[in-house]
Amino acid sequence: METPRLDRQLPPRIVQPVRSHRCSNRRQRTAELHPTSGWGLDLRTDMDLNLSRRVAVVTGASKGIGLSVTRSLLEEGANVVAVSRKVTPELERLAGPNLRHVSADLMDPAAPGQVISYAVEQFGGLDVLVNNSGGPPPGVTMSRTGFFDSNDEQWRSIFEFNLFSAVRAIRAAVPQMIERGGGSIINISTGMARQPASVNVEYGAAKAGLSNLTKALSEEFGPKGIRINTVSPGAVLTAWWTEEGGAADVIAGMANADRDSVMESIAPQMMGHVTGRLIDPQEVADAVLLLASPRSASTTGFGLPGRRRIPQEFLVPRAEFDRP
């Protein structure tokens, strides 16, 4: 595989964040996310998370959860290395002196270590690692509705992208964090790691491995000041759902429905979301920032869940039971 292009820097087009602007932006986003909830407060508008000038690496940063995490860290004054294969217009709009972009394929075994080295070179150390890259790797289409939908190579690629890339990033990050006296690692897992279902079996298995890894490493490195936690959301309204041929289209074909109905009502019901809606990426980002913050100094080995049981009748076509 190609070596990541580690020399690219987004053009500095914005100034250092100003707290009053951050508060205004967050309140506006909160109101947009939950216009009828009655909640006008974002936790981060009224609490200093002590993330200013800390150095963070965020993988899968060009869209969805990773983009929201990157934006939120920048608003807190952190220095961020955003990792993705490509730069999206949304990521470009965050350009500024606190942001670097690394174009990398994290399925290349050398890439995670190179990314961490680049962050240290650019900003002098590492305090926060957010292993957000995951889902279907290039060339793999999900959702899958049964065990026989995947061959060995597809299983390997899912594990490379969703588990081994994080293993390698953590292996490179831990020595740097120990040198700084500690740090925080947040692994983005999935509710299926805790409550398996007969859909996307290989993905759930890989993320279960990530959740297990989190628990094990939190025991080993907690005494050295490194906190390691997971956030395991349910269905988040990301490109995995919204892109053409994505999960919404796959489920729409199974349910004989249109994609909008899938995202607005069918998918939340399938996933057992008591809120009746898919999760906004910013909601996940807010949880990630709290775990990244020194405010959570005694939180480690924690898995933040966000999903209920998927009813079988929604997910497995009857034909699946007839397969050998």
User: Which residues are catalytic, by number?
Assistant: 203
Distance of alpha carbon 265 from alpha carbon 299, whole angstroms: 34
- Quick one: which of 230, 251, 234, 233 has its CA closest to 242? 251
In order, the DSSP letters of 274-300 are: TTSSPBPHHHHHHHHHHHHSGGGTT--
- Strands 99-103, 183-188: pairing is unpaired
Q: What count of residues does the chain have?
A: 324
SS3 letters across 84-110: ECCCCHHHHCCCCCCEEEEECCCCCCC
- Quick one: which of 54, 222, 204 has its CA closest to 129? 54
Residue with tokens 């009813």: 311
Residue 260 phi, psi dihedral angles, 5° rounding: -65, -40
CB 187 within 8 A of CB 214: yes
For residue 74, the Cα-to-chain-centroid distance in whole angstroms is: 16
- The neighbour count for residue 92, using CB atoms within 10 Å, is 14
CB 142 within 8 A of CB 161: no
- The neighbour count for residue 97, using CB atoms within 10 Å, is 13
Distance of alpha carbon 51 from alpha carbon 75, whole angstroms: 10
Distances (CA, A) of 85 to 2, 107, 111: 11, 11, 11
Distances (CA, A) of 313 to 239, 294, 310: 25, 43, 9
